[in-house]
Structure 1
Amino acid sequence: MTSSTFSREELAEAFGRFEATVDRAAQTRDWDPWVDQYSDDILYIEHAAGTMRGREQVRPWIWKTMESFPGSYMTSFPSLWHVIDESTGRIICELDNPMRDPGDGTIISATNLSILTYAGDGKWKRQEDVYNPLRFVSATVKWCRKAEELGTLPDEAAEWMAKYGGRK
């Protein structure tokens, strides 16, 4: 374990800014401010996508992920809870990933755990996202089936279903 030099208050304020930045990115669909809150040498571990080192490896990945289905249909990424670990300078949180309303008010989402390690000066030096990818696939299939039932399934979602949803 590494020892942190950051106070609980500083970590809480930094996480509050992280949440606000992520929320703005989700609303504006501009992912650069999200990436810019990482240190230049960020270590980003994403269990399905792999390990990325440095902002300029994270940036194209996050843009591609969030601007193609199903990421492009996720509306926000609020934390449902978080824990501040002062001794390591980490925030551990559960992030929700709700998808847009398919047309009848239904909320379909999946969650992930994120472990963020603070670098100081408002930057994060490490993020690890932990989740079961099959839960995200299941939620996306559920969303697609609901949208199909309602007649609101967009072409990109139908293409995704044809490829990953178990249909021919």
Structure 2
Amino acid sequence: EDFAAWTQLFVPDVSYHDYFWGPLHGREEVDLWIHAVMKGVPEIYTIYDWHVIEGDRVVFHCQNRRDNPDPDGPPYFDFPGLSVLRYAGDGLWASEEDYWDRDGARRTSVDYRAACERMGVTEARARMTRRHWPEGPEWARTERQPSPSWLSRDDTPGITRPSELAALLASLRV
């Protein structure tokens, strides 16, 4: 969850489009977006499902997972996502497009929030559990405690709405 390092895997003028959040242009916008969004939903982590490579494109499918804090409910809440990346060469990505199930995201958000209320889970650190990694592949999981790079970004607020992102990006787009 080193989003600062992840951002550096893109070319400086990356074209990034998330179909909920909108288009982003350049590493600086992608960096601000990923830190603000993940700070807003610290409970979400990504479970790899599969990928396909053709030419300079990689498509991968994943589950966006929230661990359920309520032991009387399901172990986790998932909603699917699909990303399409274009490779630029030299270890860098030229673009990314993200698609995910918005209705599933809303539904799991409501269910997760209700479970947190029932269990008294309010702090971001308490929401950052990663209890349900799949068995493999080994490179797509970790046993380390979450320590996302946004923890050191006091200047970046957590966001959950596109209007909040637009306000943040306005300062970069002057």
Secondary structure of 1:41's aligned partner: strand
Unpaired runs of 5+ residues, structure 2, are: 128-160, 162-174
Paired with 2:66 and 2:6, the residues of 1 have a C-alpha distance of 19
Unpaired runs of 5+ residues, structure 1, are: 1-24, 158-162, 164-168
Is residue 2:16 matched to residue 1:44?
yes
Paired with 1:60 and 1:115, the residues of 2 have a C-alpha distance of 20
- Equivalent of 2:102, from 125, 133, 145? 133
Return the structure number with greater relative CO, CA threshold 8 A, min gap 6.
2
Paired with 1:85 and 1:131, the residues of 2 have a C-alpha distance of 21
Q: How does 1:85-124 map to 2 (within 5 A)?
A: 85-86=54-55, 89-104=56-71, 106-124=75-93
Paired-residue identity, %: 26
Give the aligned CA root-mean-square deviation in angstroms: 2.1
Structure with higher strand content: 2
- Where in structure 1 do 4 or more consecutive aligned residues deviate above 6 Å? none
> Is the 8 Å Cα contact of residues 118 and 126 (structure 1) preserved in structure 2?
yes
> Is the 8 Å Cα contact of residues 68 and 115 (structure 2) preserved in structure 1?
no
> Is the 8 Å Cα contact of residues 77 and 98 (structure 1) preserved in structure 2?
yes
Deviation at 1:134, TM superposition (A): 1.9
Deviation at 1:108, TM superposition (A): 1.1
The TM-score with structure 2 as length reference comes to: 0.65
The TM-score with structure 1 as length reference comes to: 0.67
Deviation at 1:132, TM superposition (A): 2.7
Distance 1:60 1:78, change over 3 A: same
Secondary structure of 1:134's aligned partner: helix
Deviation at 1:115, TM superposition (A): 0.3
Count how many residue pairs are aligned between Structure 1 and Structure 2: 124
